[in-house]
């Protein structure tokens, strides 16, 4: 790790403005197409919240050929020490890595390619002690092992864990609230992966709220999860409620819409 920075201390971020094709984004649970205008409004609110938290945001142009390209965290990972280009677990998203690679090479001295397998950034959770890599339908063992090698080159430790069955991404069910605390679901907590952390369990029926996002001194969370909002507010966190109902229609959450690091 670099210095004593917390893994949620960010001053730089990259996002990609949604294209009109975003309404055709991938989804495991089809709840109907989102509206383009709705996603654009939610994305604008997300960018504004990042800026308000003290983060300088680079906004990339839309990629109409890639409906899911708004989710920039899946094809790449970024750290203070460098960036890693991933191989997304869905073939239709493979071109997103090539599209973001030049941007990362402009921003980082070290940019490492994943040498085998496939990994989605949504399966990767950075904690103070390690970078947890959840095996899922989008991240396989070969890719996870290759990612551990890349992380080692950046001076970081990778740890392979399991994503619960029928859960899209590891971070669909968890997020880091502070250096010692994880927000998670009952099903992921029961797996035992977070025994070294204090755990806050989201209420039943609000499982999607577990994909919150800690940015500096605040926690972003979807506005549609009042039980979790009350829980975190009661724990003393500075909670920022954001609209995500349209984005959620394409199986997305708060963490996947930006690449964040401390430059």
pLDDT tens, residue by residue, 129-159 = 999 999 999 999 999 999 999 999 999 999 9
Task: Say if residue 30's pLDDT is above 80.
Answer: no
Q: Which residues are catalytic?
A: 169, 256
Is the separation of the CB atoms in 79 and 261 below 8 Å?
yes
Give the SS3 label for residue 51: helix
Q: Average pLDDT, stretch 70-95?
A: 95
The confidence score (pLDDT) of residue 251 equals 76
pLDDT tens, residue by residue, 34-56 = 999 999 999 999 999 999 999 99
| Mean pLDDT of all residues belonging to the chain | 94
Q: Quote the CA–CA distance of 253 and 58 in Å, as a whole number.
A: 19
The confidence score (pLDDT) of residue 252 equals 80
pLDDT tens, residue by residue, 203-254 = 999 999 999 999 999 999 999 999 999 999 999 999 999 999 999 888 788 9
The confidence score (pLDDT) of residue 28 equals 67
Residue 160 dihedral angles phi and psi, to the nearest 5°: -85, 130
Q: Average pLDDT, stretch 173-190?
A: 97
CB count in 10 Å sphere of residue 153: 12
Task: Please report, for the chain, the start and end positions of each structural domain, with discontinuous segments joined by +.
Answer: 12-261
The confidence score (pLDDT) of residue 4 equals 55
Q: Quote the CA–CA distance of 232 and 221 in Å, as a whole number.
A: 10
Identify which of 215, 212, 235, 234 has the alpha carbon closest to the alpha carbon of residue 224.
212
The confidence score (pLDDT) of residue 25 equals 80
Q: How many Cα atoms are found within 13 Å in the side-chain-facing hemisphere of 188?
A: 32
Task: Say if residue 3's pLDDT is above 50.
Answer: no
The confidence score (pLDDT) of residue 148 equals 98
Q: Average pLDDT, stretch 60-89?
A: 96
Any residues with CB less than 8 A from the CB of 44 and at least 6 apart, and which? Answer: none
Q: What is the DSSP letter of 142?
A: H
Q: Is 120 exposed, middle or buried (0-12, 13-18, 19+ CB in 10 A)?
A: buried
The confidence score (pLDDT) of residue 1 equals 37
The confidence score (pLDDT) of residue 33 equals 84
Q: What is the pTM of this model?
A: 0.95
Is the separation of the CB atoms in 125 and 171 below 8 Å?
yes
**CATH assignment of 12-261, among 3.75.10.10, 3.40.1280.10, 2.60.40.420, 1.10.3720.10:** 3.75.10.10
């Amino acid at each position: 790790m670099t210095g004593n920075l917390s893994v949620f201390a960010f001053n730089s971020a990259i996002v990609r403005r949604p294209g009109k094709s975003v309404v055709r984004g991938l989804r495991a649970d089809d709840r109907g197409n989102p509206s383009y205008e709705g996603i654009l409004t939610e994305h604008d609110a997300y960018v504004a919240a990042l800026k308000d938290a003290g983060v300088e945001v680079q906004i990339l142009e839309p990629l109409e050929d890639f409906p899911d390209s708004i989710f920039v965290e899946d094809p790449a990972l970024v750290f203070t020490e460098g960036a890693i280009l991933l191989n997304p677990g869905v073939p239709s998203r493979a071109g997103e890595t090539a599209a973001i690679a030049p941007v990362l090479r402009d921003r980082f001295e070290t940019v490492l390619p994943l040498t085998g397998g496939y990994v989605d950034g949504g399966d990767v959770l950075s904690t103070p002690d390690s970078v947890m890599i959840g095996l899922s339908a989008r991240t396989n063992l070969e890719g996870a092992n290759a990612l551990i090698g890349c992380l080692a080159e950046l001076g970081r430790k990778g740890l392979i864990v399991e994503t619960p069955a029928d859960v899209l991404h590891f971070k669909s069910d968890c997020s880091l609230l502070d250096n010692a605390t994880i927000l998670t679901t009952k099903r992921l907590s029961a797996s035992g992966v977070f025994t070294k952390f204090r755990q806050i369990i989201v209420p039943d029926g609000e499982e999607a709220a577990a994909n919150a996002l800690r940015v500096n001194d605040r926690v972003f969370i979807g506005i549609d999860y009042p039980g979790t909002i009350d829980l975190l507010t009661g724990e003393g966190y500075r909670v920022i409620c954001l609209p995500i109902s349209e984005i959620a229609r394409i199986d997305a959450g708060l963490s996947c819409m930006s690449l964040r690091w401390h430059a």
